[in-house]
Structure 1
Amino acid sequence: MDPLIRKLRRYLLQWLHRSRSGSVFFVRRISYKEVRKATDCFQRIVYSNSEVSAYAANFGDGGVCLVKEVKEFDRGNDENFHRQVQLLGRLHHRHLLSLKGFSLGHNRKSKRLLIFDNIENGSLKEHLNDPLKTPLNWRTRLQIANGVVAALEYLFLFSEPPISHVSISSSNIMLDENFTPKLSDFGLLTGGSSVLIPPYSQDSTGQESSKIIFQLGVLILELVTGQSSEMEGSDLIEWIQESRFFSSIDKMLDPDLGNNYDCTELKSLLAVAKLCIKSWDKPSYTIPQLFRYLQKETDIPQD
């Protein structure tokens, strides 16, 4: 056999073997050493919980990226990790972080990492809670609320397969150089399950959808008040559930806004937040309905 043909044949067989074993070709693989350096040895923490740790990274190309470690995959679950990468690589929406690449360590105990593009202005939480950050104006806050709901609508109605895990908080809403909101915590279920349950399917229990809608309501309250939602935002939730909460808006409004806001838009946004909080016990509204309310395409139901 000709040496060149033999060499090409060997590469072809290697490619076929990798494709059958679930490796990823359409998303760039970035070396673990490069990711470690870009995150200052994983010291630049953006947010962290029991399921996910996220780090800011600078790879020297002028942009700030988000490196996400989904801890379930650190147990050597490479097949599910590759499925996650393949799914996320197909998602494209203005209000979702785009997958830039992935990384695997040299052994099965190393981190499995997802690298997302463009978080130039960090997290929403930083801009709401850090006094050193430039305050967000009203128009930007309204656009953030609309953008998050638009991302949710895309994930649940237009993604194939439908996304089965989403978490919403000011910590994991990232802002690009134009303060465009980017949802960062979404993907497949992590416990090794191959069963995907769309939150809005007819046979769904509604538990997942009510949780996400509730989180959206808390996020809107943060945007309006500038207050943190730590401890489930209990103070904010008690306030929005009061029968005459509209009369106390002036006391709860973020002082950074001053008088630079539209009163009608503010009341509409708070009315949507109230619907979201109400959905915790009884999921009466869907993401598409809430999106139409925010876009003023239909009137918001009144109690």
Structure 2
Amino acid sequence: MAPNLQPSILFIACFGIFTSVVLAKTDSQDVSALNDAYKSMNSPSKLNGWSSSGGDPCGDSWDGITCKGSSVTEIKVSGRGLSGSLGYQLGNLKSLTYLDVSKNNLNGNLPYQLPESLVYLDGSENDFNGNVPYSVSLMNDLSYLNLGRNNLNGELSDMFQKLPKLETIDLSSNQLTGKLPQSFANLTGLKTVHLQDNQFKGSINSLRDLPQIDDVNVANNQFTGWIPNELKNIGNLETGGNKWSNSKAPSPPPGTRHIDRDSSGGGGGSSKALITGIIVAVATIGGLIFFAGLIALLCRRRNTHHSSHFFDEEKPTEETKGKPLFTPQSSQMLQFDSMDDFRGQKTVDSNTSVETRPSVKRTSSVSFKNTPTFHLIPSSPVVATPDRFASPDSPDTHGVKVFALADLQNSAAGFSPSRLIGEGTIGRVYKAKYQDGRKFAVKEIDSSLLGKGNPEEFSHIVSNISSIHHPNMAELVGYCSEQGRNLLVYEYFTSGSLNRFLHQSDDFSKPLTWNTRIRIALGTAQAIEYLHDVCSPPLVHKNVKSSNILLDNELTPHLSDYGMANFHHRTSQNLGVGYNAPECTDPSAYTLKSDVYSFGVVMLELLTGRMPYDSDRPKGEQSLVRWAKPQLKDMETLEAMADPALCGLYSPESVSAFADIVSICVMSEPGLRPPVSNVVEALKKLV
């Protein structure tokens, strides 16, 4: 029997070896990401086993790499004397939960895209600059974040809404500025926060109601106001080197949650709890009485008449009276199995202008508990803050501020040419900078576009615009209407426009990696979707172009110039050359699908880096759509079309899928273009 067993034993042994090799083989995407990181770190010899191309990190046990199956789960390379940067592909490590590159000499920006699966992220004690990556906001399981002792700068974006497991955040010893994001208040699991040795300003009130916080260091910043009483009894508190007020702190606002951090037992604790309960009860009753009076006052004001209806709130209808405020439910994801399915989804176009103030309607992608009568922010719940809502004595019911013309003139250097940052058919835009550091973009509407003898027209426009809120919209801050001048005051974005990044300087195009470009396209599409599918009646934008897509410090897009559609009806043209859909020779023919066409042109700009129309190019290449459209289905020509600034650093499959979406958006026949909601769902699959 022995001779008969030998082949079987040999087969089993070979099969076992073959199986172990297959199981040890690292996922190709993970290998590519580590190859890129190794090259970006100047191929350090200290990382044993690492390679700039190919290899098997899991099977060959690369230094500092831990795997589970064929996926890389941990990278621990602290204190190895590494230099260079981390590359651009770390976001492709889909199973990575632990990343520690601390105590090295790494520099440059942290990658914009980091793995969303991270639980532990330590990049401390390096020379990283730029800001905290936007992708941190997507790390729902993150518990430890340490980027201290680097050269990070700029303001923190509001990225902490959905990080309930975060226990430690250390951003100390950087050059971060601005106020603490309000979303810090959402970090209910936070125990340790170290922000010392930066240039933060404003208050630290967003930390006061965190139930588990026990270690706070905010020393050596520019914080003002008062140290919240809720923080004074925690285990470790460092607050020196700030500009705290010496006057008596004001009483906390009604409804503020008090956290009793006294852990001592016995009757003393019970008495304390009882007293606290009584105080809270009295405060609650007082608050109810206050708000009842406030509501009565508002109702009485609604029945009075103002010189302008700009300050009137929308009157409730009979069928909506008495209905409570509501929260939008999560949108239903639409699935497309093929581009034919994607093309086949259609909605009814609307040619409605903004003469009617928008409200919110039901759509296939957004569902609501009640039929809404107020404007919503679908992406996040509305949080009422003193800065957000006007006082009962203020006529401004939408939360925007009234600016004095003299103050705007002073802050914008008398609207001199040196402060001019943009000019179009509607008016000019100036940069306004106040002494306290606030910056705004001030848009002056050409008075010839407003009806003579009708001062309420501007008020009505401001009322419409101020009711529109979305994370990817440029927020209206306020307005000014004095001495015949009508100005709109917006957020100011220091990174400028997408047009500037793509076309006005080679240096600006470098940060726009392929993943960042997809994210910009998705954010812009979501803003357009909000106008088309959430507002009722649907709002056409009529001016979708790269110069109206503004980028913040995290390169998150914010669509501007919305709510101006009726002005574009009055002007001879509504968009720059190259953005107009074929049907828009007459501005009145503009529909929702015309917005989709213009957005398709923006996507072409992101893909190719070219302008929509360039008279300096050969005649056959001057019109971007005409030149690109025949080539969008050919992979070989796509690679040649891709923006040279990308340096080939993209997935061919992703570029091909992106091009498919573009080709449908720029169809000559409006009925063949998809609704923007379908574009959003298709782009989500590429992020």
**Under a length normalisation based on structure 2, what TM-score does the superposition of the two structures give?**
0.36
Residues 33 and 279 of structure 1: CA distance in aligned 2, closer, same or farther (over 3 Å): farther
Q: 1:65-98: per-residue Cα shift (whole Å, max 9, x none)?
A: 2222333238564212111211222221110011
Task: State percent identity of aligned pairs.
Answer: 26
Match 1:92 to one of 466, 469, 487:
469
1:180 is aligned to 2:556: yes
1:114 aligned residue: 488
* Cα 1:167/1:37, change in 2 over 3 Å: same
Determine the C-alpha separation between the residues in 2 that align with 1:127 and 1:269. Answer: 20
Aligned to 1:53: 428
The offset of 1:269, in angstroms, is 1.2
Aligned position for 1:292: 681
Check 1:254–1:60 CA distance in 2 against 1; reply closer, same or farther (3 A cut). farther
The answer for the alignment partner of 1:267 in structure 2 is 656
Report the structure number with the largest CA radius of gyration: 2
Map of 1:52-201 to 2, 5 A cutoff? 52-71=427-446, 72-73=449-450, 77-106=454-483, 108=484, 110=485, 112-129=486-503, 130-133=505-508, 135=510, 136-191=512-567
- Kindly report structure 1 stretches of 4+ aligned residues shifted beyond 6 Å: none
Tell me what 2:641 maps to.
252
User: How far did 1:20 drift?
Assistant: 5.4
Secondary structure of 1:190's match? Answer: helix
**Does the CA-based 8 Å contact 1:174-1:182 persist in structure 2?**
yes
AA in 2 matched with 1:274 = S
Report which of the two has the higher share of helix.
Answer: 1
> Which residue of 2 is the match for residue 214 of structure 1?
597
Distance apart, 1:122 and its partner CA? 0.8
2:404 corresponding residue in structure 1: 31
- Does the CA-based 8 Å contact 2:541-2:595 persist in structure 1? no
> Higher relative contact order at CA 8 Å, sep ≥6: structure 1 or structure 2?
1
What SS does the corresponding residue of 1:114 show, helix, strand or coil? strand
Query: Which one of the candidate residues 612, 629, 640 is aligned to 1:241?
Result: 629
Instruction: Return 5+ residue gaps in structure 2 as ranges.
Output: 1-299, 312-394, 570-587, 616-620
Instruction: Summarize the Cα distance change of 1:75–1:222 in structure 2 as closer, same or farther, 3 Å threshold.
Output: farther
Partners of 2:498 and 2:461 in 1: CA distance: 25
Q: Which amino acid aligns with 2:477?
A: K
Check whether the contact 1:164–1:188 (CA below 8 A) recurs between aligned residues. no
Shift of 1:125: 0.8
Local SS of the residue matching 1:168: coil
- Could you tell me how far 1:131 is from its partner in structure 2? 2.5
Unaligned runs of 5+ in 1: 1-11, 194-204, 298-303
Separation (CA, whole Å) in 1 of partners of 2:526 and 2:600? 15
Q: Please give the alpha-carbon distance, in whole angstroms, between the structure 2 residues aligned to 1:151 and 1:220.
A: 14
How far has the Cα of 1:240 moved from its partner? 2.7
Query: In structure 2, do the counterparts of structure 1 residues 268 and 54 end up closer, same or farther at CA, with 3 Å as the change threshold?
Result: farther
Distance of 1:192 and 1:79 partners within structure 2 = 19
For the pair 1:228 / 2:611, whether they are aligned, the reply is: yes
Q: CA separation of 1:21/1:295 partners in 2, compared to 1, >3 Å: closer, same or farther?
A: closer
The DSSP-based 3-state class of the residue aligned with 1:55 is strand
Distance in structure 1 (CA, Å) of the matches to 2:642 and 2:535: 36
1:214 shift after superposition: 1.2
Q: Give how far 1:206 is off.
A: 7.6
Give 3-state SS (helix, strand or coil) of 2:496's partner: coil
Aligned residue type for 1:121? S
RMSD: 3.0
In structure 1, C-alpha distance between the alignment counterparts of 2:672 and 2:487, rounded to whole Å: 34
Gap change, CA 1:30 and 1:255, over 3 Å in 2: same
Q: Does the 8 Å contact 2:466/2:476 carry over to 1?
A: yes
The amino acid across from 2:601 in the alignment is: V
Q: How many residues align?
A: 271
Q: Distance in 1 between matches of 2:416 and 2:561?
A: 18
* More deviation, 179-188/228-237: 228-237
